[in-house]
Amino acid sequence: MPVTMPDRAGQPYRPSNGTEGMLFEEMFCHYCTRNSAECEIYAAALLYELGDEGYPKEWIHDLIGCPTCTAFCDRRKNTRE
């Protein structure tokens, strides 16, 4: 997962490179109940630049500065084992 940055807590998050983006996607998008191919949040993150009005407000640094998606809903918790 991308590096935790306490000084960025509460600020918007954007992966700094493709590898970091893939790690974020693997941690959140891959396990989300939303399908990343149909997710408007994921699409907006690809289409807009950080600071643009359309950039998703759901992608932020959490209270300790760790990148997160506030819309994440873990599909693993919604399945029977």
Alpha helices (runs of H) in 1-81, residue ranges in sequence order: 18-27, 40-47
Q: What is the pLDDT along the chain (81 residues), one digit of tens a residue?
A: 557 899 999 999 999 999 999 999 999 999 999 877 789 999 999 999 999 999 999 999 999 999 999 999 998 886 554
Q: What is the pLDDT of residue 80?
A: 52
Cα–Cα distances (Å) from 69 to 80, 81, in that order, read 24, 25
Please state, in angstroms and rounded to a whole number, the distance separating the CA atoms of residues 26 and 13.
16
Q: What is the pLDDT of residue 70?
A: 96
Q: What is the pLDDT of residue 79?
A: 56
Q: Which two tokens stand for residue 60?
A: 């932020």
Q: What is the pLDDT of residue 81?
A: 46
Please state, in angstroms and rounded to a whole number, the distance separating the CA atoms of residues 25 and 76.
15
Where on the phi/psi map is residue 10: left (φ > 0), alpha (ψ -120 to 50), or beta?
left
Distance linking the first and last C-alpha atoms of the chain: 26
Domain boundaries, the chain: 6-78
